[in-house]
Chains A and B, each alone.
Chain A
Amino acid sequence: MPIKNKILELQKRRELVQLGGGEKAIEKQIAMGKLTARDRIESILDKESFHEYDLFVQHDARDFGMDKKELHGDGVITGTGTVFGKPISIFAQDFTVVGGSLGRMHAGKITKIMDHALKMKMPLIGINDSGGARIQEGVNSLAGYGEIFFRNTIASGVIPQISVILGPCAGGAVYSPALTDFVFVVNNISKMFITGPEVIKSVLGEEISQEDLGGAKVHSHITGNAHFYAESETECFEQIKKLLSFIPWSNVEKAQKIAPKPPKTKAKIENVVPEDPKQPYDVRDVVRCIVDDSDFFEVQENWAGNAVIGFGRVNGETVGFVCNQPLVLAGVLDVDSSDKIARFIRFCDAFNIPLVTLVDLPGYLPGVDQEHAGVIRHGAKILYAYSEATVPKVSVVLRKAYGGGYIAMNSRHLRADFYFAWPGAEIAVMGAEGAAKIIFRK
């Protein structure tokens, strides 16, 4: 065969394989309100920057008639591209090819791109849309998951890892997103759970829909498993790009500095924060008085609202903000907010992002439920994270810092580099009423 024909043949085969599960399956995917895996990759990456790896990989399963099945790309698309002109690695499971089920070669493609991302020190974006393990491949598919989880762990804190849940992600598959730094979900599309509605029904007799069990709202509002919630895939991709604009490409880099801008808001901290320590206010309004262009990108905004975390820029450089939120539960620390804060500190510390802590809390949330849920071990995570973090750590006491909460929220004792008191700040073992009652007890 002349070389020209060989090239034509290659092009023909490439076009066929790039269609994934074929036009009918693509129509079905679109009817479900979802984009195709290829469209998703192209929506995230810079235009025409995608460079695909392992397009012609085929599975090697021979049982249950699998030898007669050709699965294009083995149900996953992997490769590299750029975002803001910087190299990034990405994989997207293709639901149109046997439900995006994960077999040995499918996992092999993913682990290869993960290894590459780690070697080249670039972020990894994983788009999950899969029915789960490919049962026909037996334990080989479980081995595939294990290989992915191992790499998620080894890469943790070295390169940023982003998981996007754009379809079902059930059973063991959910642990890969849980091991990564940020999880994005989209309303009506994302579904995550360890055991699905059928199993729950057969064991417990409880009937629940996939959406109510592990939909986007559940994970962004109730469980805290997801960090960003969007109404559409397009909105989700914008959020991913916004996040990428704030974070560095690896743990040996700093986030990109941009031209500093003054805060946009006309509000002033002295007008936002009421003098009376018992009055509520939205601490996010304070953050907007500090950050460039008043642009505060909140993480996990719908979960554990008594703590606020997120990214902003100060003098053009990315800063991680950790704040108590007097608007919700008076800004107390509890099980959920402790987990939320501690995990965020660990991310910022790993990726050279300085921390600013805005302190205004009356202490820990009292209650049997909190104690029995292990608020001691959850609360300890904040102490550990702040003590261990070596990035610059600055605290500002906006109003009150009482008791154990004062120590936990980046106090000098945990080696805050600078500890500022806003005029009117109260640092004390407890509020005035409680202290008076004990000291002047009859």
Chain B
Amino acid sequence: MQKDTKNGEKPQYKKLIIEDSVYKTLYTEKFEKKTKWEKPDERKVYSYLPGTIIKLQVKQGDKVKIGQPLMIFEAMKMMNTVKSTQDGVVKDILVKPGDKFPKNHLLMEFE
């Protein structure tokens, strides 16, 4: 984070561009670690909570309607259902019952 310049060492300045002006400065750890934003792919189903898969209710190749339950997972001591947000065909399921997963983990893909 904030480095003291007293030790005689010259800090390694980096560039920060704000409205076409290029500033010489230091980065914070948070700034360096930030990930690039990507447009979410609607074909991919991500977990909205961390949890454990209890049961899959569809399989690869199944035709799925909007609102249809896809799987049940346990999170925060509750059973939660993942419902389809689209009509489509299941291309791939990336989890199996018993799997633990974090938030924003890829669970399933549509064709």
**B5 to chain A: which residues have CB within 8 Å?**
282, 327
Decide yes or no whether B111 CB sits under 8 A from chain A.
no
Are A366 and B21 neighbours in the complex by a CB distance under 8 Å? no
Decide yes or no whether A268 CB sits under 8 A from chain B.
no
Are A329 and B26 neighbours in the complex by a CB distance under 8 Å? yes
Q: Which of B21, B27, B102 contacts A431 (CB 8 A)?
A: B21
Are A280 and B2 neighbours in the complex by a CB distance under 8 Å? no
**Closest chain A residue, CB of each to CB of B31:** A329
Complex Cα distance, B50 from A222, in Å, reads 23
Are B18 and A363 neighbours in the complex by a CB distance under 8 Å? yes
Interface size on B, residues (CB 8 A): 27
Are B25 and A328 neighbours in the complex by a CB distance under 8 Å? yes
**Majority SS at the chain B contact face:** mixed
Are A328 and B26 neighbours in the complex by a CB distance under 8 Å? yes
Q: Which of A203, A329, A433 contacts B50 (CB 8 A)?
A: A203
Are B25 and A327 neighbours in the complex by a CB distance under 8 Å? yes
Are B18 and A305 neighbours in the complex by a CB distance under 8 Å? no
Q: Which residues of B, 9-68, contact A by the 8 Å Cβ criterion?
A: 13, 16, 18-31, 34, 37, 50-51
Q: How far is the CB of B42 from chain A (nearest CB, A)?
A: 18
Decide yes or no whether B75 CB sits under 8 A from chain A.
yes
Are B1 and A434 neighbours in the complex by a CB distance under 8 Å? no
Residues of B within 8 A of A (CB): 1-2, 5, 13, 16, 18-31, 34, 37, 50-51, 75-76, 100, 102
Closest 5 CB pairs of A and B: A434-B19, A330-B23, A305-B2, A431-B21, A368-B37
Q: Could you list some 18 contacts between A and B, CB below 8 A?
A: A204-B102, A221-B1, A277-B21, A280-B13, A282-B5, A301-B2, A326-B25, A328-B25, A329-B28, A330-B16, A332-B18, A362-B21, A366-B18, A368-B37, A431-B18, A431-B19, A434-B20, A437-B20
